[in-house]
Structure formats: structure tokens, C-alpha cells
Amino acid sequence: MNGKLSTQRLIVCGLSVAIPLLYAEVATAAADLTNTSFSNWKEIPYESFLPRVETPELSPLEEVNHYLRQEEDFFNNTPRLVIKLSERRVYVYRGDKLEASYPVAIGQPGWETPTGNFQVTQMVQNPVWKHPITGEIVAPGPENPLGPRWMAFWSDGTNYIGFHGTNAEELVGQAVSHGCIRMRNDDVKALYNRVALGTSVTIQE
């Protein structure tokens, strides 16, 4: 199997992120059945292919309660994010317990941050930014508008919206973005360490 490394550039809130993706070419072979002989085949009653059905054994009540506790523990240990646009803050919950909250910048008029229920779909450390007009590439560092972390939660296939850092931390707390959730760089790194792909993101007014 031969691997090919390519770079996909994504438009992010009027920005673009270069993310390396690994693609693989997979070769498949088909068997030649043209010389198969059917002369020695015998008819087999179809009943012989039916699976044997056994009477199921019911779990004891203690075992059922064990699985219920496991499900409850999983919920209590799963992080979820709630963004309140009117407060311009993101809240990190684990179960019903509030673990942390951070100030954020949200979308400006005409580029409002969408509301609803989403999931984290991309996580990138030290993203590369491409200027959408000039094509200039900005490497990771203090001048990068995406800051040190990127976490996408919305996309229409071309445009992306997510959490990211900033090179202008003084604007955090204002409605200045193109829909993304901007955070102070230390805060976005802390948030990155608390979530995973699939983490629930709820955005409220």
C-alpha cells in the first residue's frame, strides 16, 4: 500500500487552514470463477442454513443495574460545551458539573455565530493560516490569526466555523469574528485539552 501525503486548505470563517491528510490507495483483486464446475453440487435443504435459536437468558437485576451505572458514569465523565452568545462565554460541563468557563469573541453583525447543537469535528494544533484574498501563508506563531489551536464544529463543506485562538486578544469579549469563536490563546489551549472529537457543542443566544 503506497501512502500519499497531501494538504487540504479549508476556508475558516473567511480564513483558511492547511491540514495534512493522509490518503491511501487500496488495490483490490477479483477471483476468476469462469472455470468453476457445478457438476458435483448436491441440493441441500434450505433449512440446514437456518440458525439455531436458543431461549435467551435474562440478566439478573444486579447485572442490569451494573450496566445502568456504567451508562451513568459515561455521561458524567463526558465533556460538553455550552456557548451563551449574550454572555460571550463558553462553559465546560462534565455531566451536570461546571468545570470551567472562558470569555469568547463571537460573530459580528452579518456574520453571526450559528445557534443550535453541534459536535467537534476537527482538532488541529498549531494551524497554518492562508489569507483568503492575497493567498499569503502565515505559519504558526504570534502573528497567526488562528492562534495555537483550532476546533471545528460547523461546516457546509467549504466554509468552517470553530474555536480558535487569536493574534488580537484585546478583542475577546466582543462581536468581531466572521462566525467563529475566538478565545485567548492560553484559554483555547486549555479548552483543547478538555475536549475530543465528537464533544457536544450547544450554542444559545
pLDDT at site 120: 98
70, part of any domain: no
Examine the residue annotation and report whether 164 is marked as an active-site residue of this protein.
Answer: yes
Domain CATH code at residue 142: 2.40.440.10
Distance CA 196, CA 202 (A): 15
**Model-level pTM?**
0.66
172, part of any domain: yes
42, part of any domain: no
pLDDT at site 83: 99
149, part of any domain: yes
Examine the residue annotation and report whether 180 is marked as an active-site residue of this protein.
Answer: yes
142, part of any domain: yes
19, part of any domain: no
Going residue by residue through the chain (205 aa), what tens digit of pLDDT does each one get?
443 333 344 445 544 444 433 333 333 333 344 444 444 444 444 444 445 555 556 566 665 555 555 555 545 678 999 999 999 999 999 999 999 999 999 999 999 999 999 999 999 999 999 888 899 999 999 999 999 999 999 999 888 999 999 999 999 999 999 999 999 999 999 999 999 999 999 999 9
pLDDT at site 69: 52
Instruction: List the domain range (segments joined by +) for residue 104.
Output: 79-204
pLDDT at site 32: 42
- Per the residue annotation, which of 13, 66, 178, 180 is the catalytic one? 180
- Per the residue annotation, which of 13, 66, 131, 164 is the catalytic one? 164
Domains of the chain: total: 1
Nearest Cα neighbor of 88 from 100, 107, 105, 112 is: 105
